Amino acid sequence: MIHPPATDRRAERPTGDVFRPMPPHGRGPRDWPYVAAFCAALLMFGVALPRLVVGAAPQPDLPTVDLTDRSARLLGVQAGEVIEVGTTAAGPWQRLRVAHVYHPAEYPTEISRTRVDVRLHLADLEALEGGADDVDSVVVRLRASADPGQVATRLDVLPIGARAYSSRELAAHGSAPFEVIARFHEAISVVTVVTSSVFLLAIMTLRGEEMRRQVGVMRLVGISPRSVGAAILLIATGIAVAGSLVGVGLGYVLSAATNVAYQRLFDTTVVFSRITLPLLGEAVTLSVALGIAAGALTTWRLLRRRALEQLGR
């Protein structure tokens, strides 16, 4: 895919901004026929604001437009109806007939509650914007044997004021915000693990204090410190396992609630929260290990005192 250079401010902005690349006035001396041979589609993404025309009379000669199913629902229109589209909210407006309503492949980067996706013929959009021969991206379909990276490199050196990306590079570029969010979530999860550990330690300390007399009596009647320690550790493990199971259940409930809430909010089938087996394993292992560690610390604190001391004598 050929795009404006990544250093461009407007191309980087996450607000649906549009960059107007340089109009290609000439063709590359050597590579242009190669590009043209594989060029499957030209896409132009413009800021086009649609609005519904109520009670519009049928006009068969109107240019046509395709809408995504979500956009059609947002606008309250169906195929055959007429909408008006403008490049700014102040107009001027161009009347277009909705030819098709389709369900697109959904990408997390494109999910929005209010965004309306309108697909126009390139010539109609160019006319609407008052520009000529302007495109934002050129999508290139390669022959099966072609290497996308090599083609992108060759296209990159063309002096056309554009940057070529392979689909893989573009995906990596587009997923950068999600990688940042993932790192943020990881950092937050470390904080919550620390919080939980301190919480667990405090609770186990309190529990140990509560068991102090009981432990003292057990030791006085002849039960070895080892057996007492094992019993306390067993209790701690039981609590940790039970807590983990409750946590897993709670996690599933919250995950399902998150998906239901956001899928409704954004009117999408994209999955927002997914609990995977490795994630589950990691969470349960961590919480059980922390529980046992807290139990071990409590056991050590309890057993380092003498039995009579534990009874307050």
Where on the chain is the footprint of other proteins (CB under 8 A)? 4-5, 7-10, 12-20, 22-28, 47, 49, 87-90, 129, 158-161, 176-177, 180-181, 183-184, 187-188, 191-192, 194-196, 198-199, 201-203, 205-207, 209-210
C-beta closer to other proteins: residue 102 or 272: 272
Q: What angle do CA 82, 264, 113 make, to 5 degrees?
A: 50
Q: Give the three-state DSSP class for 274.
A: coil
Q: C-beta of 86: minimal distance to other proteins in Å?
A: 9
C-beta closer to other proteins: residue 123 or 265: 265
Question: Which candidate, 65, 40, 262, places its Cα nearest to that of 137?
Answer: 40
Q: Which two tokens stand for residue 139?
A: 């999508």
Amino acid making up residue 208: G
Give the distance, in angstroms, between the CA of residue 297 and the centroid of all CA atoms in the same chain: 40
Q: Which two tokens stand for residue 209?
A: 């204090």
C-beta closer to other proteins: residue 4 or 229: 4
Q: C-beta of 262: minimal distance to other proteins in Å?
A: 9
Q: C-beta of 179: minimal distance to other proteins in Å?
A: 8
Place of tokens 């063709």: 27
C-beta closer to other proteins: residue 52 or 79: 52
What strand order describes the sheet that includes 2-3? 39-43, 137-140, 2-3, 163-164
Q: How far apart are CA 19 and CA 3, in angstroms?
A: 9
Q: C-beta of 197: minimal distance to other proteins in Å?
A: 9
Question: Which candidate, 202, 291, 282, 196, places its Cα nearest to that of 240?
Answer: 291
C-beta closer to other proteins: residue 65 or 204: 204
C-beta closer to other proteins: residue 191 or 277: 191
C-beta closer to other proteins: residue 41 or 176: 176
Angle between helices 176-210 and 277-303 (to 10 degrees): 30
Q: How far apart are CA 287 and CA 244, in angstroms?
A: 6
Q: C-beta of 176: minimal distance to other proteins in Å?
A: 5
Of all helices (H) and strands (E), which one includes residue 3? strand 2-3
C-beta closer to other proteins: residue 7 or 269: 7
Query: String of b and e for 210-225 (b: at least 16 CB within 10 Å)?
Result: ebbeebbebbeeeeee
DSSP structure string for 180-222 = HHHHHHHHHHHHHHHHHHHHHHHHHHHHHHHTHHHHHHHHHTT
Q: C-beta of 201: minimal distance to other proteins in Å?
A: 6
Q: C-beta of 185: minimal distance to other proteins in Å?
A: 9
Q: C-beta of 61: minimal distance to other proteins in Å?
A: 28
